[in-house]
Amino acid sequence: MNRPGGLHARHELLASNAVVLDAAARTHVGMVRKVNEDSLIAQHPVFFVADGMGGHEAGDLASAAAVRAFEVLAGSTTKLRPADVDAAIELARGAVSAIAEQTERGAGCTLTGIVLVEHAGEPCWYVVNIGDSRVYEHSGTSLMQLTLDHSLQAELRASGNPNAAAAPRNVITRALGSEDSRHDAWLIPVTTGSRMLLCSDGLTTEVSDEQIRAVLTVGGRPDAVAEELVRLACASGGRDNVTVVVVDTVSGLDPQDAEDFGATADDTIEVTRPVRR
């Protein structure tokens, strides 16, 4: 298989406010398509994946513009707040809309990621999602999908519709550049030993959650894990672009302190459930 290139081979040890992160990212055009419409940013404290919408003009430009909006936060040495992330999301919306206006058929992309912020004096991941790219959290041997897909299939399944499985998965109900570009957003504690995976649907349409869980469990350092996930997607057909970002929390909150965070969240953003905005 072709090896990913560019900044996607980066692997750094990162530290901020007693939080130590080890992160790596990979992207690949896949085995079928000629253009990679995925884009990413993986620079402390900001990690995002954007997938250009298929069938639209300038999907690659839209995804690149979306992640570029977060460069204002990348490398920040100050304590970011959720409001800082929300402001960057608005910049991304405007940037993608400007590109869409210059095309005949429009342009758009998904936007999914995590940003290290401080909330109530504690380090948190601010998780953001628009579309069907995903964020997973892996801890020990367990894997949890944190985001909800904004797709026709997922929404039919959630409503209990018996025809959900027959619905095409690639029909997206929310995206930047579309009529509905609302984002889900919520906070979870940054816990020592946890591993976060961000990915475009080029991974999840080719590799099962169980395969992903196994790689995250035994795969070693983030760069090796990211490489193996991309390899599996390409070996399984690689019918779409595939992008993965793996972020390990080497040092963060003690798991018990993280449980206390959840128990005292009161009127703050809910810890485990997306909030529609």
**pLDDT tens, residue by residue, 79-123:** 999 999 999 999 999 999 999 998 888 899 999 999 999 998 999
Which pLDDT belongs to residue 262? 54
**pLDDT tens, residue by residue, 176-225:** 999 999 999 999 999 999 999 999 999 999 999 999 999 999 989 999 99
In order of 113, 121, 143, 255, 256, the CA distances from 261 in angstroms are: 21, 11, 20, 10, 9
Cβ contacts of residue 132 below 8 Å, gap of 6+? Answer: 51, 110, 149, 150, 151, 154, 169, 170, 172, 201
> Measured between alpha carbons, how far is 260 from 174 in angstroms, rounded to an integer?
33
130 within 8 A of 174, measured Cβ to Cβ: yes
Superfamily of domain 12-262: PPM-type phosphatase domain (3.60.40.10)
So where are the chain's domains?
Answer: 12-262
26 within 8 A of 1, measured Cβ to Cβ: no
% helix, strand, coil for the chain, step of 5: 30, 30, 40
